[in-house]
Structure 1
Amino acid sequence: MSVSVVVPAYNAQDFIQVAIASLQAQTLPPLEIIVVNDASTDDTAKVVESAAKKDSRIKLINLASNMGPGGARNAGIEEARGQWIALLDADDRFAPERLERLVQLGEETKADIVTDNLLIYDAVAQKIARQGFRRRDNESHFEVTLDSFLYNAAGESTECDFGLLMPIFRRDTLIERGLRYPVNLRHGEDFHLMLDALLAGSTWVCTSDAYYLYTERTGSISKQSSGMSRTKVNYAAMKAATDQLLSRPAISSNARLRELVARRSRGLRWLDAKAKLVAKMRSEGTASVLKTCAGDPWIAWNVGRFLIRRISRKVNALGHATFSSRGSRPLR
């Protein structure tokens, strides 16, 4: 089976070569590596051109204007010739066996879409912080349905937003069903393509094994910015796009789907509010945040709930560490 890998890149001169190298190291060599230079203002194009001179599989597409991640991915999809199309962000990497394992799973299950778990990477600490979601007991893989996708795409209230999982698609699925990334949304565009795919009847399987190294915007270990993400966080736009889904007949006619979409909207509203509170605290101090909470019961309630969850996690972690340190000694 042949695989095309599409790599959207914007001002990625300092790290694009690492992403490309991870593709060149695949145990199932890709048919082509399509790097879409999204009108970068640095030397991204030169770095890719240099790599292409040594590897004929590397193809560079230079966009005349910045189209955002969705537009750049769409441009790569249009050029792809492989039976499968994989996506890799320029600041991320594939484990060497990723394409082989995912294509094999896709062929065995006849799925249209295959994803894997994430290796959440702190670039500053240079360590894997955790995996995206906990491994499911006695399951090598599982099907992602419309219900389970929406349930696991509710922002902070879920363990891992399934909209972050990086897919490989059957090319025929994308072409025949006209599936493309939205170009008017530059943050969270992945969610909408995957939703469209499921609404169109596509089948999606996911393995609990992790082969995709996902670079955190801010490291959960180092607490420092990776300096590599070019995505401008915009939870308000994501919420607005989510709210528009309620007008789609396939969702508006189904009470369960309506509630799941509304749940995602509430989660995004909180993420937007939290981001603004953090910025406010940094610029104006804690007193300004307390004043905001006092004037908005909804924010106050969510801040309280957030703090309780944080404290609970720390207490549980401390209890686990204390118990583990006792080893197998009997309790006294």
Structure 2
Amino acid sequence: MLRVSPAPTVSVLIANYNCAQFLGGAIHSALRQTLKRLEVIVVDDASTDGSREIARDFAARDHRVRLIELPTNAGPSAARNAGLAAAEGTWVAILDSDDFMHPERLQRLVEEAQAGADICADDLLVFGEGRRPGEHLSKAQRQMAYISLADFLNSNLIYGTVPATGYLKPLLNLAFLRKHALIYDTALKIGEDADLIARALAAGAKYRLIDSLGYFYRKHPNSISHRLSRDDLQQMLNGDMRLKASLSACPIEVAEAFARRQISIERALNFDRLVTAIKSRSWSQALQIAIHHPNTISALGMPLAARLQRLRRIQVSKGQSESTKKACLISRQRIIGPTNGSSAYVLGICRALRDDGYDVTLVSPNAGTIGRLPVFRLRPEMSVFNQIFLRGVWKLGNICVSKDPRIALAAVMAKIARALRRFGVERLSYWDTPAPYVIGAPWQRDELLYVARHASKSELVIADYAFTTPAIPFALSESARSLVVMHDLLSVRESRFKDAKLPDSVKTLDEASEMQLLGQADAIIAIQDIEAKHVKARLPDHTVLLSPVVCASVDAPQPGAGKSVLFIGSNTAPNVIGLRWFLEFCWPQIRAENPDAELVVAGGVGSQFPEGAPRAKFCGIVDNLAPFYREASVVISPLTVGSGLKVKVVEALAQGKAIVATTVSVEGMGDDIASALNVCDDPVAFGNAVSALLSDNELRRRRADAAYTYFKQHYSREACIRELLAYVDGRSDVSASTVCSLAPYAHRGTSIEVDCVR
């Protein structure tokens, strides 16, 4: 078998015994790490449930996976020792066969450990059937940075009140382990990880702890860490005594920690004796134990609490439907309906899934998503979701109210500032400062926990934007397939704005970072063919689905009447910059040739033009775009920078309108798009094209017919959705190199709202 060359940075050790249900997810999470120089060593401890076949299949498909088969069952310590002996990495990472890791975990740990640590660990996300997912460590522990031997012993008291750091799954320096002849104690059936770490600390290891949730720790009835027998406890006590005796010098804080740990183990032993006496109805013996060891009485609440928790899990599982396919959308854009291009597009994907029999849940984990809207209404199109979880709001039917009174105050202050600006008062303009753009913000622990607690276990997890892929594992559906809706090639967008020396309203990424984020999903949904090919060339092992924007169409072309020019846009940088360009360089020329021409601007973009413009009507957010399209003579899309969604152009085609657009506006729509509309980048040519359409009714009718015909020929919702569903339903007609089309459910000219009005 070919070996990894150069030597792996990390050896991931998975000791497995009869864990076929979860082993594939564990191995998959190791292979999906952003740190690619690794090996995965699966040590099978004589399983009888098909686990070895799963490991063999992975090994056959990926040379980084090795399988070691033990002839007889020897226990987890012996299995891990076999893995340690075979490991070739600089670092060793222990992964239990029923757990999984975040894709970025090993890269983070290695970067931190290389600063001078021998051991490096992060926090656990603890979850399980019927259990509320939660972090393991306390806030104080997460802020420790480094753990000493005394700290470690004090946090690993049996039945202690402090979370046990012995449960953590650290990265270990393999050279340090071998230098000090450190292996797992095979006498221990439980607590073997903590014992090894304690001996490493006693040998002088530096233990780094980082504040990150990267390891997903499953608690279920079969977890051996749930059961403490008398023999297990005695072996722990014996191990502690041997370790203490091996220390040539024992600082007072370490000696005190050993003493507290010994007391806790002895208490657990006495508690075991008490429970045994009660179960055997030896009441006099139970009374004697309770009198001599009164601290065992308080522990009797634990079995009762465990029983109540099991009953609660049974009730939860009874209430869960197992027959319906489930999908979960994780989004940090404000989705309250098809109020802008990006939300209409995502709703289209969800509608396609809903029509295919999926129950779709929306999880919006950032309270800042609502921006400066203290109260808002969910549009009827939101009925595609079976469940909606919006953090930071009270939901009263379709009405949502922010829990944060500061948002209402900020909204009032912004309105005051805008009103004063109309009268030339700029002193309070800072009151109208946009709220932070949360789509691309770094993920916070509370957001990730919100996802873990509200994302129902699903067959399909969808990340809205590349920035969202780090949250995919927190949906706790490790066997699910994942998709990312990229919306835009953000690395290309960034360079275009820089070249134009213009500010963008969207956080951008360099190409390497963008590909790393997109690569954390199984499949990538691209908006344009050029973007799909760009991503496929850089991520050849991923499925890339081409999903151009298609909107519901009217029944016939609408050439319009009069001399009305329509622009529709949300409050994003490309729209603001494009409209300013049109008003400055094109509109004066058009008005000179057509004095009675009128510009109608619909959507949140108007909020950036408080000064107005001659013969221009800024309508703001409107409930129904249909009459605006119907009455318009010409629809314009004067974008000079940007990429991604082409909703404005495609919707205008669907409405059968005469259109004038720039090259940026129609990028990726096909070489023959010029047959359907006028493409002009020079402002004089752009103005001339608009003027010609305003002045010539027959020309306008022909261009409206051409636009409508082009739409019908190039965008078929039914045919395109078939490809998407072939992938999500796992049918064989979609391969890893597929580039297919999706016609998303889009609004029939219903409304448009600010994309990032904050």
Q: 1:51 to 1:263 in 2, by over 3 A?
A: same
Q: Does 1:167 align with 2:170?
A: yes
Q: Out of 256, 260, 269, which is 1:259 matched to?
A: 256
Distance 1:155 1:100 in 2: 32
Verify the 8 A CA contact 2:156 2:165 in the aligned structure 1: yes
1:113 and 2:119 correspond: yes
Match in the other structure for 2:238: 240
**Residues 207, 293 of structure 1: CA spacing in aligned structure 2 closer, same or farther, 3 A cutoff?**
farther
SS for the counterpart of 2:21 is: coil
Distance 1:279 1:21, change over 3 A: farther
Q: 1:21 aligns with which of 14, 18, 28?
A: 28
Q: Deviations over 1:176-223 (max 9, x none)?
A: 222211122221111221111111111110112221111224xxxxxx
CA RMSD of aligned residues (A): 3.1
Aligned CA distance change for structure 1 residues 43 and 266 (closer, same or farther; 3 Å) = same
1:295 Cα shift? Answer: 4.4
Cα distance in 2 for residues equivalent to 1:262 and 1:236? 15
Q: Distance in 2 between matches of 1:197 and 1:42?
A: 35
Question: Does the 8 Å CA contact 1:11/1:44 hold for their aligned counterparts?
Answer: yes
Aligned residues: 298
Alignment deviations for residues 298-329 of structure 1 (CA, whole Å, 9 cap, x no partner): 43333137759x99xxxxxxxxxxxxxxx999
Shift of 1:143: 0.5
Q: Does structure 2 conserve the Cα–Cα contact (< 8 Å) formed by 1:10 and 1:230?
A: no
Q: Deviations over 1:65-105 (max 9, x none)?
A: 22221111111111111121111011111122111111111
Q: Per-residue deviation at 1:230?
A: 8.2
TM-score, length-scaled by structure 2: 0.36
1:5–1:30: 8 Å Cα contact kept in structure 2?
no
Counterparts of 1:64 and 1:138, CA distance in 2: 41
Residue 96 (structure 2) pairs with residue 89 (structure 1): yes
User: Does structure 1 conserve the Cα–Cα contact (< 8 Å) formed by 2:277 and 2:285?
Assistant: no
Matched, 1:187 2:190: yes
Supply the distance in 2 between the matched residues of 1:230 and 1:136 (Cα, whole angstroms): 24
The 10-residue stretch of structure 1 (84-93 or 66-75) with the greater mean CA deviation from structure 2:
66-75
Amino acid at match of 1:135: K
1:41, CA displacement in angstroms?
A: 2.8
- The answer on whether the counterparts of 1:4 and 1:30 sit within 8 Å (CA) in structure 2 is no
User: Which structure carries more relative contact order (alpha carbon 8 Å, separation 6+)?
Assistant: 1
Task: Name the SS for the 1:33 alignment partner.
Answer: strand
What does residue 134 of structure 1 align with?
Answer: 138
Aligned with 1:49 (options 40, 52, 56): 56
Alpha-carbon distance between aligned partners in 1 of 2:93 and 2:178, rounded to the nearest angstrom: 14
Matched, 1:176 2:171: no
Q: Report the 3-state secondary structure (helix = DSSP H, G, I; strand = E; otherwise coil) of the residue aligned with 1:15.
A: helix
Q: Which has the larger radius of gyration?
A: 2
Alpha-carbon distance between aligned partners in 1 of 2:142 and 2:162, rounded to the nearest angstrom:
19
- Partner of 1:302 in structure 2? 296
Query: Alpha-carbon deviation of 1:117?
Result: 1.0
Q: d(CA) in 2 for partners of 1:5 and 1:138?
A: 24
Query: SS state of the match for residue 133, structure 2?
Result: strand
Amino acid at match of 1:261: F
Give 2:179's aligned amino acid.
Answer: E
Where does structure 1 lack aligned partners over 5 or more consecutive residues? 218-224, 312-326
**Alpha carbons 1:187, 1:231 under 8 Å: kept:** no
* Residues 6-44 of structure 1: per-residue CA shift (max 9 Å, x gap): 101111122211111111221223521100011223321
Tell me the TM-score normalised to structure 1 length: 0.79
2:58 match: secondary structure: helix
Q: Is the 8 A contact 2:30 2:101 kept in 1?
A: yes
Aligned to 1:36: 43
Residues 154 and 207 of structure 1: CA distance in aligned 2, closer, same or farther (over 3 Å): same
**Partner-residue secondary structure (3-state), 1:157:** coil
Q: Could you tell me how far apart the structure 1 residues matched to 2:39 and 2:204 are?
A: 28
Work out whether 1:206 is the aligned partner of 2:214: no
Structure 2: how far apart are the matches of 1:134 and 1:270? 24
Describe the shift of the 1:128–1:209 C-alpha distance in structure 2 as closer, same or farther (beyond 3 A). Answer: farther
1:79 paired residue number: 86
Report the equivalent of 1:324: none
Instruction: In structure 2, give the amino acid aligned to 1:303.
Output: I
Taking the aligned partners of 1:201 and 1:289, their CA distance within structure 2 comes to: 48
Q: For residue 168 of structure 2, what is the amino acid of its counterpart?
A: L
Contact in 2 for aligned 1:294/1:300 (Cα 8 Å): no
CA shift in 2, pair 1:167/1:45, >3 Å? same
Q: Flag the 1:293–1:21 CA change in 2: closer, same or farther, 3 A.
A: farther
